[in-house]
A and B are shown apart, each in its own frame.
Chain A
Amino acid sequence: MAELPQRQTDIGPPHYEQFLPPVIKKNYGKWIYHEELGPGYMVHVAESGDRVWTVRVASPRLLSTDTIKEICDIADKHCDGYLRFTTRNNIEFMVDDESKVEPLMKELKEKGYMIGGIGSRISNVVHTQGWVHCHSAATDASGIVKALMDELHEYFTSKDLQARVRLAVACCVNMCGAVHCSDIAIVGVHKTPPRIEHERLRNLCEIPSTVASCPTSAISPDPQKKSVKIKLEKCMYCGNCYSVCPSMPIADPKNDGVAIVVGGKVSNMRSHPMFSKLAIPWLPNNPPRWPEVVDAVRKILDAYIADARKHERVGEWIERIGWEKFFKLTNLEFKLQHVDDFTFARETWRMAATFKW
């Protein structure tokens, strides 16, 4: 490895300025308005009169270097060698002249890229690693996203919704994708407690930190075995102990599955940011296409489309109609699991005599 270049440390990321398309660099901080021109493209107008057209395409987030080189070819040909990614992992191509939009979109379509995701529709789905790369995944993430978006792609490419609907998938309750504030989100959940591998645990894990990791105090030391024990009835299957101690595996193929949560948002527009709340406590992992999950999301989305008002996000719609009506309109069963018995419980009980029949 003698031919390796000299390593540098703590240099931080390169300065963003060198990566800005010239029209962006020139008009930085001087934009006055923008217009959505279609489901997948928009124009921003600067004080100088300059304009930048942006074309957005979907991405599976997991990209091969081959695909990255291909999008580089497209950006070299049409966009002076620059491109960007969005927070939701869409790819954005920018051009400084209207005449460049059509050839760019034509080539993107020919190469099979899916243009869309701007405005009141479904944008790319934020998601986590799942079985592709994670040790604590209770489900796969990329597989669910692919199955879901094959079903809902029209809401990315063409059809309008009342407002943007943000979808997200997290493969366990660690929620690396921060799905807890999404319009409709899917989260991998366990239904059974971890198993304790006593022989390994005594060599591998620190007992006090393992005990401390449990939010419901279900874990206590087992001095005889130099290990820990679990009060099974107190365990809520969060898997936090497994994060701290690898000898407490919690994956259970027969019982792992997903929950669906709805009504979250991060934007402050109109109403406060909202957490997503439980709509369906458990659906089975049924790869490769998770049909039960796709059906359930479709059902929730259809009820929203049928009943929500213009500009209303899923959470705002549900707040207006009430959760009792949400369960009625979506035809979802309200179960014991929907009633909170944890941190936020008090705030969620109905301390009023008013509700809808």
Chain B
Amino acid sequence: MGTKHKTPLLDDLEKGPFPSFVTEIKKAAEHSEYAQDLLGQLELSFKEKVTHWKHGGIVGVRGYGSGVIGRYSDVPEEFPGVAHFHTLRVNSPSGFFYSTKALREICEVWDKYGSGLTNMHGSTGDIILLGTKTENLEPVFAELSSRGWDLGGSGSAVRTPSCCVGQARCEWSNIDTMAITHDITHHYQDEMHRPAFPYKFKFKVAGCAIDCIASIARADMSIIGTWKGDIQIDQDEVKAYAAAGMDIQKEIVELCPTGCMSWDGSELKINNEDCNRCMHCIAKMAKALRPGPEKGATILLGSKAPIVTGALMSWVIVPFMKMEPPYEEFYDLVDRIWEWWDEYGKNRERIGELIERLGFPRFLKEVGIEPHPAMVKEPRRDPFFFWSEEDIEK
């Protein structure tokens, strides 16, 4: 085993009630030199208030351009255990359900070849195996893939799609988020493992507008379940909520953003034509109200974090799409969008940024999507718009 480092600053973070990441690294350090030297290097960062990881480094497994993030220490002489400390992104199963048998298998491989440290999960939703040497990458991949696990996305590729728990354990999910995510992931294996796009492309699938997977904030394509038709009301259950102390007027009717509800003390009425399906009433009265009968998804496009000219949230491009296998309409749309992005996108330009640069109307026209008022909050405020040849009288 390597050197046991003194870590007074990190030790302080073992105190207190919340579970400690330092304790986790120390547990791994009992049997891993990587984790021992990670502790040492991290203590140095805490002391000097600066990271000690070098910039990038291209490493990977044969035939793949993604799934492994190269990481090297900038103080390898001091901490040889983390001289290489590469991450493998392992594609998680939809919904983050696991059998203990499967988790133990992953642990066994990782204890043999890596640091014994993981993230369950990374921000995008991969199982993150944190830290190993270059020469161990192929063995880890062979061990994992022979047991049915594959790597996720990284770089300018499709990133590992993820979803909320969906119909597995939620009564509000209008679409089968886990099946859709599984299908998309398998459909785009090549696009995920061999980066060929201008930049990253993320899919996230949420069962309803509560959006537990935060798709609207962090997916290039956000698929959010919704419905058509009337909210289903069980008036007896509404009364039961009232009897149990819920102030239906104040907590439900007055908080409805469209003012489409009324309550006279015995009957809850909803003017469904005015409902925008925000989910507030349904979420607060789960026993009494259920989404309407015709299920599908709203497809939104473009969200990303602030780097570089500011954050974007996804916006509506298809108000309603049935999301049923084999998802032909969906894949056709994605392929058309990618073709346009491939044609015009600059290096490191997300789809949302490209649409901003070239214009949403041009995107709609060239990708072949009919404009719809649901796509905008309001029409444009300025009088500067384009016409095409066929609109002009000669």
Tell me whether A287 and B46 are in contact in the complex, defined as CB-CB below 8 angstroms, given that A75-B100, A135-B71, A267-B209 are known contacts. Answer: yes
Q: How many residues of B contact A (CB 8 A)?
A: 129
Q: What residues of chain B lie closer than 8 Å to A285, measured between beta carbons? A: 49
Tell me whether A4 and B142 are in contact in the complex, defined as CB-CB below 8 angstroms, given that A59-B120, A133-B71 are known contacts. Answer: yes
Q: Which candidate, B168-176, B266-274, B324-332, is the interface stretch facing chain A? A: B168-176
Binary per-residue interface labels of chain B (139-164) against chain A in the complex, 1 for a CB within 8 Å, 0 otherwise? 10111011111100000000000101
Interface members, chain B 36-73 (any A CB < 8 Å) = 38, 42, 45-56, 63-64, 71
Instruction: State whether the Cβ of B132 lies closer than 8 Å to any Cβ in chain A.
Output: no
Once the chains bind, are B51 and A9 in contact (CB under 8 Å)? no
Q: What residues of chain A lie closer than 8 Å to B64, measured between beta carbons? A: 9
Residue among B19, B102, B167 facing the most chain A CB atoms (10 A cut-off): B19
A215 to B25, CA, bound (A): 38
Once the chains bind, are B313 and A66 in contact (CB under 8 Å)? no
Nearest opposing residue in chain A for B30, CB measure: A66
Once the chains bind, are B217 and A128 in contact (CB under 8 Å)? no
Q: How many residues of A contact B (CB 8 A)?
A: 121
Once the chains bind, are A240 and B217 in contact (CB under 8 Å)? no
Residue among A52, A68, A87 facing the most chain B CB atoms (10 A cut-off): A87
Q: Which candidate, B283-291, B333-341, B386-394, is the interface stretch facing chain A? A: B283-291
Q: Which candidate, A78-86, A224-232, A298-306, is the interface stretch facing chain B? A: A78-86
A264 to B305, CA, bound (A): 13
A131's contact among B17, B51, B146, B306, by CB below 8 Å, is which?
A: B51
A142 to B125, CA, bound (A): 17
Nearest opposing residue in chain B for A206, CB measure: B347
Q: Which applies to chain A's interface (DSSP): helix, strand, loop or mixed?
A: loop
B49's contact among A8, A145, A215, A256, by CB below 8 Å, is which?
A: A256
**Nearest Cβ on chain A to B103's Cβ, whole angstroms:** 5
A170 to B119, CA, bound (A): 15
A273's contact among B16, B20, B217, by CB below 8 Å, is which?
A: B217
Interfacial residues, chain B to chain A (CB-CB below 8 A): 9-10, 12-13, 15-22, 24-25, 27-28, 30, 35, 38, 42, 45-56, 63-64, 71, 85, 87, 91-104, 106-107, 110-111, 116-125, 130-131, 138-139, 141-143, 145-150, 162, 164-165, 167-171, 173, 176, 178, 182, 185-186, 189-190, 193, 209-218, 251, 255-257, 277-280, 283-284, 286-287, 290, 305-311, 313, 346-348
